[in-house]
Amino acid sequence: MSRATKSGLAAEAQSKVEAKYSEEQAAECLEWIATITEQEFDKSGAADNFYEILKDGTLLCEVINALKPGQIKKIQRSTMAFKCMENINQFVDGAKACGVPSQETFQTVDLWERQNLNSVVICILSLGRKGAQFGKPSIGPKEAEKNVRQFSEEQLRASDTVISLQYGSNKGANQTGMSFGNTRHM
């Protein structure tokens, strides 16, 4: 059962959402998933292929278990809508447990009802950046590491003697030669 065809403003909004989808990024995500899960499937980034491969959520759950073994205790193999949506929800929860920020996750209906495949791609890319933390291959830019610095009390006090340029400067400023318009005639 799917939703009714959108029209008017809703159709415009949906077309903008669909325009953000990138086949290259989707193909990169599927390639990473195939590497992590060691499974073979079509890795084309076309929206139809991306949706068909991931819609039941089983492959997504296997990704989480490949990164953190035992994170998802039971993967539903049924094709019933509720079971598939449960798999997708378990993936989102597992991604959060792996360190994906909540603003980079997606809602279950984004994938199940194909509402926003771009948000699914963003979530998988974010999870892919975390791969190196679990000893697996990663995708995208390398995540930054902490670089904690320690300053002595003397170094911290040295900054008290410097006047910041935010306070302004009046060097060279005067009003000589300034005239605003004509003089006043009485």
Alpha helices in 68-134 (DSSP H): 81-97, 108-112, 117-129
111-116: Cβ within 8 A, 24+ apart: 111/51, 111/54, 111/55, 111/57, 112/55, 112/81, 112/84, 112/85, 112/88, 113/2, 113/3, 114/51, 114/55, 115/14, 115/17, 116/17
Rounded to whole angstroms, how far apart are CA atoms 71 and 61? 9
pLDDT tens digit sequence for 57-102: 999 999 999 999 989 999 988 889 999 999 999 999 999 999 999 9
Tell me the domain boundaries of the chain: 12-134
Neighbouring residues of 36: CB distance < 8 A, sequence distance ≥ 6: 63, 66, 67, 131, 136, 137
The per-residue pLDDT for range 123-172, each reduced to its tens digit, is 999 999 988 888 888 898 888 888 999 999 998 888 888 777 767 666 66
The predicted-structure confidence for 22-64, as pLDDT tens digits, reads as follows 899 999 999 999 999 999 999 888 999 999 999 999 999 999 9
Domain range 12-134, CATH architecture: Orthogonal Bundle (1.10)
